[in-house]
């Protein structure tokens, strides 16, 4: 076993060697521009892109022509939310979303408020779950979009997406979900869920950074989008720009692997995650899980330690890569908006760790990480004036 141990797989994942192998020919052999349709170099690049498009589509149960490649989930969220809002300007200006969304959704909504949008941000319960009934109650005659993420990037809680989608469908309102953390990690199928727009990205799936997708379903109500990047008319005019062929090919291979390996991988990670939680609770008291344990991503653990400041704990865990539920802003530390939405006290929010297990983690690494966390929690409690 080598240190440091990487347990921050919600932030990003390492590229799988099989993905890298698929990408390498695209840097030299298949280097053409897919838009160059008059010679073999362009044809081969276009063929590689379309193969990847089909692989990406299969992961979420979509049709290949419903996949638009972007630079990542953040761009996909921008295209979905801004695109729908601008296209529906004559019909309404109301957007419904959730308090625990990623900032790539919340900040987009805030930017649209400056342009006249009315945004309803719905609360969640103490477990982080959104009641579909609240969504139904929030709908008005001016609602043009509902956007709720599938699985939370901090606490791993999986929302009742199918129920929320049914609410949206009953009112003929397009439904968008940021599924960056869920695709390939939990069962997800756009046809079963009844979703219109799905954002996801390669680097959460052991693929490369800088490439993602927006799935635009061809189902009623037919979604109309206003393009956000103009230029060469690529991706059917919704996202202009020369396609990132190596990244797209890697994205496709990553999705193919996730589709094949997800059942076994999810079970293995769930067992490791539960073992880690058991080891922590057996050795130290005051270990609280943030968010509902079910339904939850199998590789996620967000825990708070009583009488311990999360940032101080992370600073001591130089050989274990985890992240905090707190975010630094200037010289002050503010609790995560997700943990705040759950109703956690500032003290508990400040004492949190987000742990994200991944494909390449091993049982010895989990045992080592547990031991190091236990060691440093005890040490910090010994020197804490509130112990």
Give the pLDDT band of residue 222 (cuts 50, 70, 90).
confident
pTM above 0.75, yes or no: yes
Give the pLDDT band of residue 261 (cuts 50, 70, 90).
very high
Q: Work out the burial of residue 133: count CB atoms within 10 Å of its CB; fewer than 13 is exposed, 13-18 middle, 19 or more buried.
A: exposed
**Residue 145: which of 123, 112, 114, 115 has the closest Cα?**
112
Give the per-residue pLDDT at 332.
Answer: 43
- What one-character-per-residue DSSP string does 85-121 give? HHHTTTT--EEEEETT--HHHHHHHHHHHTTT-EEEE
Q: Give the total number of structural domains in the chain.
A: 2
Q: Work out the burial of residue 14: count CB atoms within 10 Å of its CB; fewer than 13 is exposed, 13-18 middle, 19 or more buried.
A: middle
Strand, coil or helix: 195: coil
Give the per-residue pLDDT at 329.
Answer: 34
pLDDT of residue 129 exceeding 60, the answer is: yes
Look at residues 257, 273, 299 and tell me which one is the last residue of a structural domain.
257
Catalytic residue among 98, 183, 215, 328: 328
Q: What are phi and psi of 335, to 5 degrees?
A: -60, 150
The torsion region of residue 187 among left (phi > 0), alpha (psi -120 to 50) and beta comes to beta
Other C-beta atoms within 10 Å of 239: how many? Answer: 25
pLDDT of residue 349 exceeding 80, the answer is: yes
For the chain, the maximum distance between any two Cα atoms, rounded to a whole number of angstroms, is 73
Give the per-residue pLDDT at 384.
Answer: 75
Whether 178 and 207 map to the same domain: the answer is yes
Decide if 286 contacts 300 (C-beta within 8 A). no
Give the pLDDT band of residue 345 (cuts 50, 70, 90).
very high
pLDDT of residue 326 exceeding 60, the answer is: no
Whether 31 and 128 map to the same domain: the answer is yes
Q: Considering the chain, what percentage of its residues have pLDDT values greater than 70?
A: 97
Whether 353 and 234 map to the same domain: the answer is no
Give the per-residue pLDDT at 50.
Answer: 98
Whether 50 and 108 map to the same domain: the answer is yes
Strand, coil or helix: 232: coil
Domain assignment of residue 332, given as a range: 5-11+263-383
Give me the CATH number covering residue 343: 3.90.1150.10
Asked if 98 is an active-site residue, the reply is: no
Look at residues 227, 257, 287 and tell me which one is the last residue of a structural domain.
257
Give me the CATH number covering residue 146: 3.40.640.10
């Amino acid at each position: 076993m080598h240190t440091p141990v990487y347990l921050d797989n919600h932030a990003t994942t390492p590229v799988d060697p099989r993905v890298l192998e698929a990408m390498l020919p695209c840097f030299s052999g298949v280097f053409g521009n897919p838009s160059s349709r008059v010679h073999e170099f362009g044809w081969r690049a276009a063929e590689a892109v379309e193969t990847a498009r089909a692989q990406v589509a299969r992961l979420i149960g979509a049709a290949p022509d419903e996949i638009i490649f972007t630079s990542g989930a953040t761009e996909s969220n921008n295209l979905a939310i801004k695109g729908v809002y601008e296209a529906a300007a004559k019909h309404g200006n109301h957007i419904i979303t959730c308090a625990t969304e990623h900032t790539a959704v919340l900040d987009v909504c805030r930017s649209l408020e400056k342009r006249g949008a009315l945004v309803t941000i719905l609360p969640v319960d103490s477990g982080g779950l959104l009641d579909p009934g609240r969504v139904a109650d929030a709908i008005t005659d001016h609602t043009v979009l509902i956007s709720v993420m599938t699985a939370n990037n901090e606490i791993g809680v999986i929302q009742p997406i199918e129920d929320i989608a049914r609410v949206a469908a009953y009112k003929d309102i397009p439904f968008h979900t940021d599924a960056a953390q869920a695709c390939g990690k939990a069962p997800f199928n756009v046809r079963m869920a009844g979703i219109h727009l799905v954002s996801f990205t390669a680097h959460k799936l052991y693929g490369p950074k800088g490439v993602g997708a927006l799935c635009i379903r061809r189902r009623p109500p037919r979604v109309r989008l206003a393009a956000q990047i103009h230029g060469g008319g690529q991706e059917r005019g919704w996202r202009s720009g020369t396609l990132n062929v190596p990244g797209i090919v890697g994205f496709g291979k990553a999705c193919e692997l996730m589709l094949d390996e997800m059942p076994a991988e999810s079970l293995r990670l769930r067992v490791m995650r539960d073992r880690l939680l058991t080891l922590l609770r057996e050795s130290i008291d005051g270990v609280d899980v943030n968010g509902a344990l079910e339904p939850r991503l199998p590789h996620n653990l967000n825990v708070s330690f009583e009488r311990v400041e999360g940032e101080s704990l992370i600073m001591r865990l130089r050989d274990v890569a985890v992240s905090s539920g707190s975010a630094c802003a200037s010289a002050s530390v503010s609790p995560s908006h997700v943990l705040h939405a759950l109703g956690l006290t500032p003290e508990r929010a400040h004492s949190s760790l987000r742990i994200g297990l991944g494909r390449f983690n091993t049982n010895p690494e989990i045992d080592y990480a547990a031991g190091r966390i236990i060691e440093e929690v005890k040490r910090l409690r010994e020197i804490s004036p509130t112990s």
